């Protein structure tokens, strides 16, 4: 079994939950923000949708320049769902190409051409592809709660959904 296989398995398992949560995004609230410094609902949902493919693409390179472009805002829930499907497919393809020596090699994040992080590629993949997704998915569930949209169960029941009942 390759090192990347455990990441791919976790990505597959968690993608079902991510798809469920982004599927709850209300189309009439995409510009809503809980705070002026926050992403809008449409920006956050689209960011979550794009994480798998963009992180896998960055991890495929030996060095990646930190992006400075603003986060685009989704125009519809379907745009988010379609972006997630495409992103997930791209991530699967790119990650499946990585053998153990590749995932254990050093990966660099740069900003303005200067190295700001130098870590094993697998650490970048696990931290940003997986943990970063979970972080933002949690934010999205709070957005849904604040908008009084039913929050689906993630790792256990919510006030709106109990998979154990």
Find the mean pLDDT for residues 137-152: 97
Q: Does residue 47 lie within any of the structural domains?
A: yes
The whole domain housing 136 covers 3-146
Q: Does residue 103 lie within any of the structural domains?
A: yes
Q: Which two tokens mark 114?
A: 């200067």
In this prediction, residue 157 has a pLDDT band, given cuts at 50, 70 and 90, of very high
Q: Does residue 33 lie within any of the structural domains?
A: yes
Q: Does residue 73 lie within any of the structural domains?
A: yes
Q: Does residue 81 lie within any of the structural domains?
A: yes
CATH of the domain at 105: 1.20.120.450
Q: Does residue 157 lie within any of the structural domains?
A: no
pTM of the predicted model as reported, rounded to 2 decimal places: 0.96
User: Whose CA is closest to 14, among 101, 161, 160, 134?
Assistant: 134
In this prediction, residue 139 has a pLDDT band, given cuts at 50, 70 and 90, of very high
pLDDT (tens digit, 9 = 90+) per residue, 11-61? 999 999 999 999 999 999 999 999 999 999 999 999 999 999 999 999 999
As a three-state string, the secondary structure of the chain is: CCHHHHHHHHHHHHHHHHHHHHCCCCHHHCCCCCCCCCCCHHHHHHHHHHHHHHHHHHHHCCEEECCCCCCCCCCCHHHHHHHHHHHHHHHHHHHHCCCHHHHHCEEEEEECCEEEEEEEHHHHHHHHHHHHHHHHHHHHHHHHHHCCCCCCCCCCCCCCCCCCC
pLDDT above 90: residue 121: yes
Q: Which two tokens mark 101?
A: 């020596």
Q: Does residue 52 lie within any of the structural domains?
A: yes
Q: Does residue 25 lie within any of the structural domains?
A: yes
Quote the number of domains for the chain. Answer: 1
Q: What is the pLDDT of residue 132?
A: 96
Find the mean pLDDT for residues 68-83: 96
pLDDT above 90: residue 165: no
């Amino acid at each position: 079994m390759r090192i990347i296989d455990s990441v791919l398995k976790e990505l597959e398992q968690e993608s079902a939950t991510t798809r469920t949560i982004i599927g709850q995004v209300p189309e009439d609230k995409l510009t809503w923000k809980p705070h002026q410094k926050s992403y809008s609902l449409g920006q956050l949902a689209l960011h979550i949708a794009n994480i798998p493919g963009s992180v896998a693409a960055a991890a495929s390179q030996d060095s990646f320049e930190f992006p400075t472009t603003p986060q685009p805002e989704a125009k519809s829930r379907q745009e988010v769902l379609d972006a997630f499907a495409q992103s997930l497919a791209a991530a699967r393809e790119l990650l499946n190409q990585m053998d153990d020596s590749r995932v254990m090699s050093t990966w660099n994040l740069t900003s303005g051409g200067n190295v700001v992080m130098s870590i094993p590629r697998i650490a970048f993949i696990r931290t940003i592809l997986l943990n970063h997704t979970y972080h933002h998915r949690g934010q999205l569930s709070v957005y849904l709660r604040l908008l009084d949209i039913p929050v689906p169960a993630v790792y256990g029941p919510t006030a709106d959904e109990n998979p154990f009942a």
